[in-house]
Structure 1
Amino acid sequence: MKVRSQQIRRRNTMLRELSELLVDSLKRHGIADEKAINEAEELAFQLHRRWAGITFVFPVKDDLARKRLELHIMEEYDGSNADILVRKYGVTEDWIYSVFRQHQRRRIDKNQIGMDFGDGQ
C-alpha cells in the first residue's frame, strides 16, 4: 500500500498540531505563554517517546466525542448562529437543532414536579 504525500505531511505534523492545541488550551487556563509552550512541547515529546510506531485510529462514531461536541454546541448556540457552528464543527443545521431540542426536553423532564394523588401511582 502506497502512502500519499499528503498523508505523510499530515502524519509528520500531528505532534506539532497537538502541541499547538495544548498551548492554546493552557493559555486559556491562565498559563503564561512561555510555560505553556514548554509544557505542550514536553507532553508531545513524551507521547512520541511512549507511542512511536503505534497507529492511532479515532473512530468517527465515538460516544464521548459526540457528547463533547453536543456540549460545545449547547455552550455556543445562541439561537441565531447555527450556520457558524455548521462550518466550525462540520455538522448539519438539522443536527444542531435536534441537539438543542433534546437538551430542552431533558431540562423540562428534570424540572417536572411529580404530583401525588394518593392512588399509589
Structure 2
Amino acid sequence: MKQGSILAETRHELLDDIAAHTATVLSEHGIDAALAEQAGHAVADHLATQWRGATLYIPSDYRHQLTKRDLQILSEFNGRNHHSLARKWGLTPSSIYKLLKRTQDRKFERDQGKLDLGDGLA
C-alpha cells in the first residue's frame, strides 16, 4: 500500500471516529440520535476544513487527560516520593520528575499572572 493511501485511510478513520464519538456522547446526553449523528458529522467536517493541509501528531498523553492526572500527581507529591508515584501511575521516575517540573512551572507562570491556561491549576 502506498504512503498516500495509508495516510488517506488513517485520516478518514480519524474523522469517522470523531463523528461517531461525538454522536455517541450527544446521544448519551439525551440528544435525538439522528440529530446527534448530524452534529457528529458537522464536527468532523469542521475539523477537516479548519485543519486541512496540516500534519498533526497526537501524543498518547494529550493535554486534557494529562492535566487531571498531573494535578492529582502534584497533590500526592511530598517532595521525596517520586518512585512510589511512578509505580502507582505506571510511569518512570524520570517521567515523574519531568511531569512535576512541567506542572510546577505552569503553576508558577499562572500564579505570576503571565498565563491563564484554564487548566485548573490553582
TM-score, normalised with respect to structure 1:
0.48
TM-score, normalised with respect to structure 2:
0.48
